[in-house]
Amino acid sequence: MSSSKSTDVLASETHFYRLYEEAPLPFLLLDGEGRLIKVNQACEHVFGYRREEVLGRYLGDFLLQGFEDTLPHAVHEFASSGPISGIEFEVRCKDGTSKLVSMSGHIVRDDQGQYLYTYCILIDITDRKGIEKALQDSDEKYRLAMEASQDGLWDWEVNTGSVYYSPRWNSILGEKETQNNYSTWEDRIHPEDKPRVLKTLHSHLAGETTAWREEHRLKNADGEWIWVLGRGRVVKRDQRGKPLRMVGTMSDINDHKQAEKALHNSEERLKALINATSDDVVVLLDSSFRMEIVNERAAQRFCKTVEQLKGCSLGELMSPERAKERLEYAHKVINSGKSVRFEDYRAGRWYDNNMSPVLNDEGKPQAVAIFARDITERKRMERALADAKDAAERASATKTRFLAAASHDLRQPLQAISSYKDILTLNNTSPELAGPIKQLGDAVLAMQELLECLLDVNKLNAAALKPYMRSFYLGHLLSQLKDQYQTTAMEKGLVLKFVPCNAVVHSDPTLLRVILQNLISNAIKYTQQGKVVIGCRRLGGQLRIEIRDTGIGIPEEEQESVFEEFYQLDNPARDRSKGLGIGLAIVKRMAELLKHTLSMHSVPGKGSCFAIRVPLDYRTQKETHVVNPVALKTDDVSTGSSILLVEDDEIVLHASYGLLQALGYTVKAASSAEAALRLILSETPAPDIIVTDYRLPGDCDGAELIQQLRAKTGSPIPAIVLTGDTTIADTSNYLPDNSLLLEKPARVEELVLAINQLLGNPGPAAE
Ligand code: ADP
């Protein structure tokens, strides 16, 4: 302490010290060198040193490293300026801890201005600094967090209009730097968004809302509009509530908005699409099976608007049973991931419903799409079609039944006419009648052929024709055909040549005969001069039967069509006296039925060759159930043989009776099965042969009658069954042994041949 100090000053000092001795803040006096002259109790208390430990020592000895220079510098400052304020340094306490203090004070001088000492008050600012540090840290953390979140920051001094925009805020707009004022933001707002955005901002500034939040478009550095989300809050207001500071963030939501827009557009397109399907009801059920998307048509169906339908459950729209059924389907779709399709009928209309799963991102079904198509019109047409088909089938069945019945009924009188013609031929002695009788015979033959054709077509159409495949000598069939057509050919001046053939073939002789008849008669019909040759050629396991003619031929472009039903060529050279245009159609269909290959080669003006391939049968040389078709001569008749004739049609019975008698047989006639049975019991001996119609009145048919007659007489009387029934092939399967089947109208030659065959008189030898 300076020796020049006055007494007054010391008195005031003493007073001063006492005052500060009791003060709660650390107080100390320093000399001009920075040594401690005085410390108060608070000083001892705060730093833990006793007075004697510190007095006389440099204050700098108690400071932490780094602060040593602070003090001399401060002291120097004091010396020049006088007042000391806010010098901060850290003091090392006695217990080893440290305290951050802020020092304030003043330099005291004597009257002459000589330095006396410096008094200082220390304020412990350790806690305050800690809080400031924590604040600083949290600010830093907030800044880092904002940077990480990619949001731009702004800090607006509302009354001055000055705004701090963070670098990220600028970069969202593609700017390096912007003016720090409010209009930097406001001037960039899209005109459509501006009124809305400013309105909500002003109401927040006015204290009407707790925060501000707006999506809006701003113009970026390239002049493009980008979508941002602005958020902010007033953080400081004056006493009257006027906003002073507002801070906030800006997020770039452009990509999100674009995606949202794309989604919106695609939803709009989807909506347009489902509404465009004006006939179909389109509904999307969400995961709880409530309506999520519906189209106009669906709304019409349920008599509601599209908006009203959204969110509705099925139960709210339909009957409980129907809703239950639909929900079961929907569950099935979700559980299986597969579509379900069903039809239903509602309010007078039919719907074809298709429920399909809608998959989520993981590919799992989460919703159900329903498309319901109104198929009422289709159903009506299907019904009409089915009705029309039924009607057509009924009509076709009626036609088939009619033709079957008509055929039977037509055959009966034809059989009678044919028999009467034969009686006339046998008994005629007048040369004048010979011509007309022959013409009658030709007319009957033509009629028979036409009838055969019609009946064959009918049988084919009714699919009633079942081939009865057997092995037989083809030679017999060919010689029969030769006899049949020889005269016609000769009359036309044609040579009809049959090349001899001894092959045994496997086919249905009746159907094969129809085929060959058609081909031979065509060959004769369409040949004006030259010849018709029927020859056979073995080709592997098959026999190729060829019918060649030197006729008019068929143009190439017509060669396929001639096999169609009722197709005839408009050829002036052809003979129109016969034919319906169905001969070749029958040939084709019968060949298909028999699985025989049919072929044709024709050159107009030169001739045609039709050929059919028939399987050869080498295993058996024995023919079965076939009439030996050799030409009849009346002296072939086994005269005297007795015949029991059973026929229910009076005219046919009469005609056949007359014919058989004329042929020299002894004939007993019966018109029913009962009459035949009665007759056979009363007559002895039993007849040599039975000739019976297949269809007889009552329960008993011809085949059964034969069995009964044989049982009654105890003798296996040979029998011939005549039938006009179109199901001949089936019938033949049920014939008793030692009996033959002849189709009506049977020619007299056939009848005589059959009788001879059954009675063991082979007649003339086969070729
Ligand atoms: P159609 O009753 O008219 O003979 P088809 O079905 O048997 O009927 O024959 C159809 C058409 O094929 C005949 O109208 C005829 O023009 C032609 N045709 C058939 N066979 C011959 C043939 N051998 N030579 C020339 N033309 C033929």
In a domain, 407, yes or no: no
d(CA 494, CA 550): 10
Torsion angle of the four alpha carbons 624, 627, 629, 635, in this order, in degrees rounded to the nearest 10: 130
Which pLDDT tens digit goes with each residue over 188-223?
A: 999 999 999 999 999 999 999 988 999 999 999 999
pLDDT greater at residue 287 or residue 767: 287
Same domain, 751 and 645: yes
Is residue 182 domain-shared with residue 44, that is, in the same domain? no
| Residues 111, 166 within the same domain | no
Highest mean pLDDT out of 270-274, 330-334, 639-643: 330-334
Q: Report the Cα 539 to chain-centroid distance in Å.
A: 51
640 and 757 housed in the same domain: yes
Atom 14, ligand 1: residue with shortest CA distance: 568
CA 570 – ligand 1 centroid, Å: 10
Write the pLDDT tens digit of every residue in 32-59.
Answer: 888 888 888 888 888 899 989 989 998 8
Residue 476 maps to a domain: yes
Q: Are residues 474 and 607 in the same domain?
A: yes
Q: What is the mean pLDDT of residues 280-300?
A: 85
Q: 46 lies in a domain?
A: yes
Within a domain: residue 359? yes
List all residues whose CB is within 6 A of at least one atom of ligand 1.
Answer: 518, 522-523, 526, 549, 551-554, 562, 567-569, 571, 574, 579-585, 608
Give pLDDT tens digits for 371-386: 888 888 888 888 888 8
- Same domain, yes or no: 473 and 609: yes
- Tell me which residue range forms the domain holding 167: 149-258
DSSP label of 760: T
Q: 108 and 195: one domain?
A: no
Ligand 1 atom nearest the C-alpha of 553 is 25
Round to whole Å and give the CA distance between 172 and 153.
11
Atom index in ligand 1 nearest the CA of residue 574 equals 16
Q: Which residue has the higher pLDDT, 528 or 127?
A: 528
- In three-state secondary structure terms, 332 is helix
Q: State the pLDDT at residue 166.
A: 85
Distance 115 CA to ligand 1 centre (A): 155
* Distance of CA 549 from the midpoint of ligand 1 (Å): 12
Predicted confidence (pLDDT) at residue 244 exceeds the cutoff of 70 = yes
Residue whose CB lies within 8 A of the most ligand 1 atoms, among 516, 522, 525, for a mutation test: 522
202: domain CATH number is: 3.30.450.20
Identify the DSSP state of 232: E
C-alpha 569 to ligand 1 mean position (Å): 7
DSSP lists the bridge partners of residue 611 as 546, 599
In angstroms, rounded to a whole number, what is the distance separating the alpha carbons of residues 655 and 415?
A: 8
Are residues 222 and 119 located together in one domain of the fold?
A: no
- Same-domain check for residues 491 and 590: yes
- Whether 602 and 552 map to the same domain: the answer is yes
Counting from 1 in the atom list of ligand 1, the atom nearest the Cα of 453 is 2
Tokens representing 476?
């017999």
Q: Compute the distance from residue 532 Cα to the ligand 1 centre, in Å.
A: 15
Rounded to an integer, what distance in angstroms lies between the CA atom of residue 119 and that of residue 95? 25
State which of 488, 584, 586, 608 you would mutate to test the pocket of ligand 1, scoring each by most atoms of that ligand within 8 A of its C-beta.
584
Instruction: Tell me the β-bridge partners of 213.
Output: 231
- Domain boundary (227, 258, 289) is at 258
Residue-wise pLDDT tens digits, 529-546:
999 999 999 988 899 999
Ligand 1 atom 16, closest CA? 569
Q: What number is the average pLDDT over the span 666-695?
A: 88
Q: Is 626 helix (H, G, I), strand (E, B) or coil?
A: coil
Asked if the structure places residue 459 within a domain, the reply is no
Distances (CA, A) of 87 to 39, 103, 123, 369, 584: 18, 5, 10, 78, 132
The answer to whether position 304 is within a domain reads yes
Whose CA is closest to atom 11 on ligand 1? 568
By most ligand atoms within 8 Å of CB, the mutation choice from 554, 587, 612 for ligand 1 is 554
What is the number of domains present in the chain? 5
Burial of 115 (C-beta count, 10 Å sphere; 0-12/13-18/19+): middle
Whether the pLDDT of residue 70 is over 80: the answer is no
> Which residues have a Cβ under 8 Å from the Cβ of 98 and sit 6 or more positions away?
64, 90, 91, 92
Q: Output the six-digit token pair for 256.
A: 């999100």
| 78 part of a folded domain | yes
Quick one: tokens of 93? 């306490």
CATH code, 647: 3.40.50.2300
User: What are 547-575's pLDDT values in tens digits?
Assistant: 999 999 999 999 998 998 777 776 554 45
Question: 601 and 488 share a domain?
Answer: yes
Select from 532, 548, 549, 568 the residue to mutate for testing ligand 1; criterion: most ligand atoms less than 8 Å from CB: 568
With 0-12 / 13-18 / 19 or more C-beta atoms within 10 angstroms meaning exposed / middle / buried, residue 589 is buried
Which among 213, 230, 258 is the end of a domain? Answer: 258
CA of 522 to the centre of ligand 1 (A): 6
Which CATH number characterizes residue 611's domain? 3.30.565.10
CA of 552, closest atom in ligand 1: 25
Q: Which of 449, 454, 496, 526 to mutate to test the pocket of ligand 1 (most atoms within 8 A of CB)?
A: 526
Of 551, 580, 615, the domain-final residue = 615
How far does the centroid of ligand 1 lie from the alpha carbon of residue 438, in Å? 26
Ligand 1 centre from 437 Cα, in Å? 29
Are 243 and 283 contained in the same domain? no
Cα 123 to Cα 100: distance, rounded to the nearest angstrom: 8
Q: Is 521 within a domain? A: yes
